[in-house]
Amino acid sequence: MAATATGLGFAPAIAVFPLVAFVITLVFGRHLPKKGALPGILATAGSLVISLVMFAAVAGGATYHTMLYEWTSGAATSETMAEGIEFTFGILIDPLSALMLVIVSLVALLVHVFSLGYMNAEGETGLRRYYAELGLFTFSMLAFVFADNLLMAFMFFELVGLCSYLLIGFWFRTESAPSAAKKAFLVTRFGDYFFLIGVVAIAATFGTVGFAGEESFVTAAETAIDDGATLFGFDAQTWVTITGLLVLGGVLGKSAQFPFHTWLPDAMEGPTTVSALIHAATMVAAGVYLVARMFGYYALSPTALTIIAFVGGFTALFAATMAVVKDDIKQVLAYSTISQYGYMMLGLGVGGYVAGVFHLMNHAFFKALLFLGAGAVIILMHHEQDMWEMGGLKDKAPVTYYTFLAGALALAGIVPFSGFWSKDEVLFDALAVGLEQPVILAAYAMGLLAVFFTGFYTFRMVFLTFHGDPRSEAAEDPHSVGWAVKVPLLALGTLAAVAGFVNLAPVAELLHADITFLEFWLDGEYGAVDGLTYHAYHETVAFEEGGIGSETTTMLLSAGLSLGLALAGAFTAHTLYNVPEPSRHTTKLGGAYRVLKSNYYQDEYQVWLAEGLMLPLARAADRFDQTVIDGVVNGISTISLFGSDRLKRIQTGIVTNYAALLVGGFIGLLLVLGYLGGWFA
Amino acid sequence: MTVDVQYYVLLSMAVFCIGLFGVLTRRNALLFLMSVELMLNAANINLIAFAFYHGNLTGQLFALFTMALAAAEVAVGLGIILVLYRNFRDVDVTVPTTMRW
């Protein structure tokens, strides 16, 4: 392939730019203007340009798959009898990664620009560290996105987790930020533990960790299932399910899916810009992206897919209900993120690869927008985050208001904003499969119900923040925001409004027009790596699809249902909160309010698991170690010490005694040898 | 007339046993050294007797080596005894037991 001609040979630079920015900022940040923001902005802009070149190249039919560096290789024979295994660093540019590279570098660039207004203008200290960490974060995510094998993906997955830890704990002098950072690190690490076992299991089973091509573990797994092979005592299908679920552990941790979602709301302790980056394009997106990246593998196992779909649907509803009672604007957004990633998991879990990726893309835009909008609101409000202290910002900050509104409409899924098209497609795919599969129907039902809550909490947030009368002095007299805040908001606001048009599936169905561009894109109409296309995945997924009447009726019914519920939610919020003096209305919820406010006691039971179960277990293990293991070791040494203490007494220091022992020993030896030789017989 | 080899062996054994007795019972380091000389000379008698018995000069040759060795050993031994005396004001071998453990 003519890599140089299409510019694909520049692919490594996408990740190298932010890495260079990281080093420059770390070393020279103190002396740079803007405390090191400029290298980051230039680097992410460079990454964006090259990502767009990649995107154009893939659109022109080219793909890029190359090995950059070989760590190590060995001659071990795997379970499927593949000879030899290599661990490498490589780059895979295909439609999915090209799309994701553009999203990540774009959001990273806008977050860097926004940081000028959010961090620099507010006179924060430690900005050199901040920008250096942002650079490292962007680098890790970009390298994760173009990784061509599971081990490399795992390494950068971990690096992404580390960077989130650093950035969430940016204000490490406060009490809550370091604790939130530790929680994020530990909870995601718990999931990554399973991921690591999954990587080892896949490597040991198939002798390869590659994502693409004939040498990939996906192809090897498919062959093993077709041959009816037995892997480690399981039949191939079961083993694929087990390893897939192990990898899924990492995904659930990073993408904050139930029950590993507890770290994400706490992660709001970091700067709002960091939240935007984490939620839209990096940390949390990494999990879902990994599922999409190795979708061919999950497609082989209907059980794993069903679990993904069910966890996704459940999380979508679960998190949406918690968002309803939050007072902090960032907390609402945090729970909405968990909920939206639930939708993506639901979409991917029912085999809707396009729907899941579509929602991932739209969510990246509108969630980055909402978080940056929330950041702007926080600037306006002199660092107040409680929505009950806001109100009436609509007329005082029109740019923030209208862009935030665009993001909110997209999040709630109101036509024609981007979120509607992707969420509708997820729900349609779930319904189609659900009509044949009761478990998935339940997941669909939860997802559908969550639409109502999404509409409700989104507009509750909008109305409380921007509508009504100002409820505090800060809201009466908001701080002004500069161009560095407005430009990213406008860019993302436009994208949140129009990004959905790349895949107007319902319209295409009605008009019989070929306008589902994202589907074509992911299906390799323009360019793709063999086997990594929507078509190939769709053939592998074993789900039957049903319909109510014709496909068009089903689609319209699904779209109408979700739109109706979203509008109902928004309307409920409108009647309750879009009044000059809104009240909390929490008493109407009764006992449910306490449960929701306490986040279903998820933190409590996890702390109980740690303190009530794991701590005594660890203590018992410690006691076993201290007494039994150490006891054996100490006992042996005591016996040896005691014995030698007795034995050394035969050394008297008197030469005569030694001579007597020598003679006695010689005579004894002589007698024994003589006896054995038959003298006394 | 020649003496039978067994008388030499008996003589050698007697001399050796006298030496061994000295080593096991005496406390004076000088007597120790003398006893060791006796045991070495008992071995020499044996070597020469058997060399004569076999008509082979190798044994006699080794007896000469042994004498040289004994002379060297006496030199070292006397040196040790001198140092012993300087340190302990005595040549009693039961006194210097401090180097045991």
pLDDT digits (tens, 9 = 90+) for A79-138: 777 777 888 888 888 888 999 999 999 999 999 988 888 887 777 778 888 889 999 999
Tell me the per-residue pLDDT of A513-522, one tens digit each, with 9 for 90 and over.
Answer: 777 888 888 8
Portion of chain A with pLDDT greater than 90, in percent:
33
Residue A591: CB atoms within 10 Å: 7
A570 and A648 share one domain:
no
Q: How far is CA A172 from CA A267, A272, A555, A601, in A?
A: 13, 15, 50, 27
DSSP labels, A41-98: HHHHHHHHHHHHHHHHHHHTT--EEEEEEEEEEEEEE-TT--EEEEEEEEEEE-HHHH
Of B24, B98, B100, the CB nearest to A659: B24
**How many residues in chain A?**
681
**pLDDT tens digits, A268-320:** 888 889 888 888 888 899 999 999 998 888 988 889 999 999 999 999 999 99
The answer as to whether A171 is a domain residue is no
Residue with tokens 């530790």: A182
Residues A523 and A661 in one domain: no
Spatial distance between the Cα atoms of A469 and A476, rounded to a whole number of angstroms: 9
Over residues A327-354, the mean pLDDT reads 90
Domain boundary at A583, A617, A640, which?
A583
Question: In this predicted model, what pLDDT tens digit does every residue of A374-383 receive, in sequence order?
Answer: 988 888 888 8
Identity of the amino acid at A676: L
Given this model, what pLDDT does residue A6 score? 63
Residue A471 pLDDT class (50, 70, 90 cuts):
confident
A524 & A622 share domain: no
How would residue B66 be classed by pLDDT, with cut points 50, 70 and 90? very high
Q: Give the residue on B whose Cα is nearest the Cα of A645.
A: B101
Is residue A395, in this structure, part of any structural domain at all?
yes
Residues A577 and A615 in one domain: no
Task: Closest CB to B23: pick one of A651, A652, A659.
Answer: A659
Cβ(A335)–Cβ(A322) below 8 Å:
yes
Task: Identify whether A161 is part of a domain.
Answer: no
Q: Is it the case that residue A384 has pLDDT exceeding 90?
A: no
Identify the pLDDT of residue A49.
93
Task: Write out residues 33-92 of B within 8 Å (CB-CB) of A.
Answer: none
Query: Of all residues in chain A, what percent carry a pLDDT higher than 70?
Result: 98
Q: Which of A550, A583, A616 is the last residue of a domain?
A: A583
> How many Å lie between the alpha carbon of A661 and the closest alpha carbon of chain B?
10
Q: Closest to A655 (Cβ–Cβ): which among B20, B93, B98?
A: B93
Rg (CA), chain B: 17
* pLDDT value of position A618: 94
DSSP-derived 3-state class of residue A506: helix
Q: Are residue A570 and residue A459 in the same domain, yes or no?
A: yes
Burial of A665 (0-12, 13-18, 19+ CB in 10 A): exposed
| Number of residues written out for chain B | 101
Interface residue B16 vs chain A (CB under 8 A): no
Q: Is residue A468 part of a domain?
A: yes
Residues A421-435: what's their mean pLDDT?
A: 88
The first and second tokens of residue A236, run together, are 């191939």
Q: Are residues A579 and A445 in the same domain?
A: yes
Is the pLDDT at A169 greater than 80, yes or no? yes
> For B9-55, what is each residue's pLDDT tens digit?
999 999 999 999 999 898 888 998 999 999 999 999 999 999 989 98
Q: Which residue has the higher pLDDT, A170 or B95?
A: A170
- Please report whether residue A312 resides in a domain: yes
Is the predicted pLDDT of residue A3 greater than 60, yes or no?
no
Highest mean pLDDT: which range of A476-485, A598-607, B76-85: B76-85
Asked whether residue A1 carries a pLDDT value surpassing 50, the answer given is: no
Per-residue pLDDT band for A475 (boundaries 50, 70, 90) equals confident
- Residue A5's pLDDT is what? 53
Is A439 part of a structural domain of the chain?
A: yes
Q: In this structure, is residue A599 part of a structural domain?
A: no
Q: For chain A, how big is the Rg over CA atoms in Å?
A: 31
Q: Inter-chain contact B24–A663, Cβ cutoff 8 Å?
A: yes
Q: CA of B99: which chain A residue's CA is closest? A: A653
pLDDT in the model for residue A343: 92
Last residue within a domain, chosen from A538, A553, A583: A583
Evaluate if residue A544 carries a pLDDT over 70: yes
pLDDT (mean) for A370-376 = 90
Same domain (yes/no): A625, A535: no
A558 with A470, same domain?
Answer: yes
Side chain identity at residue A35, one-letter code: K
CB < 8 Å to A654, chain B:
93-94, 97
Contact A333, A275 (CB under 8 A): yes
Query: Within this chain, do residues A579 and A610 fall inside the same structural domain, yes or no?
Result: no
Taking phi first (over 0 means left), then psi (-120 to 50 degrees means alpha), and beta for anything else, what does residue A512 get? left
CA A206 from chain centre, in angstroms, equals 25
Q: Are A383 and A510 members of one domain?
A: yes
| Chain A interface test: which of B23, B88, B90 (most A C-beta within 10 Å) | B23
Q: What value, to the nearest 5°, has the Cα angle with vertex A373 and ends A368 and A377?
A: 150
Give all domains of chain B, ordered by start, each with its CATH number. 5-88 (1.10.287.3510)
In a shared domain, residues A553 and A447: yes
Determine the pLDDT at residue A2: 43
The reply to whether B97 touches chain A by the CB within 8 Å rule is yes
Q: Which residue has the higher pLDDT, B11 or A583?
A: B11
- Domains identified in chain A, total number: 2
Note down the domain range covering A396: 301-583
Q: Does any domain span residue A103?
A: no
Question: What value does the mean pLDDT take over residues A330-353?
Answer: 91
Residue B101: predicted pLDDT: 67
Q: What is the nearest CA distance from A655 to chain B, expressed in angstroms?
A: 7
Q: How far is CA A119 from CA A31, A35, A115, A305, A520, in A?
A: 17, 10, 5, 42, 41
Residue A489 to residue A197: CA distance in whole angstroms: 41
Average pLDDT over residues A42-69: 88
Q: Which of A229, A99, A217, A244 is nearest to A148 (CA)?
A: A217
Q: A223-259, pLDDT tens digit by residue? A: 888 888 788 888 888 999 999 999 999 999 988 888 8
Q: What is the mean pLDDT of the segment spanning A348-371?
A: 91
Q: Give the count of beta carbons closer than 10 Å to the beta carbon of residue A204.
A: 16
Mutate to test the interface with B, among A647, A648, A649, A655 (most CBs of B within 10 A): A655
Q: How far apart, in whole angstroms, are the C-alpha atoms of residue A506 and residue A496?
A: 19
Indicate the burial class of A492 (C-beta count within 10 angstroms; 0-12, 13-18, 19 or more): buried
pLDDT at res. A454: 92
Residue A461 and residue A572 in one domain = yes
Query: What is the value of pTM for the model shown?
Result: 0.81
Burial of B5 (0-12, 13-18, 19+ CB in 10 A): middle
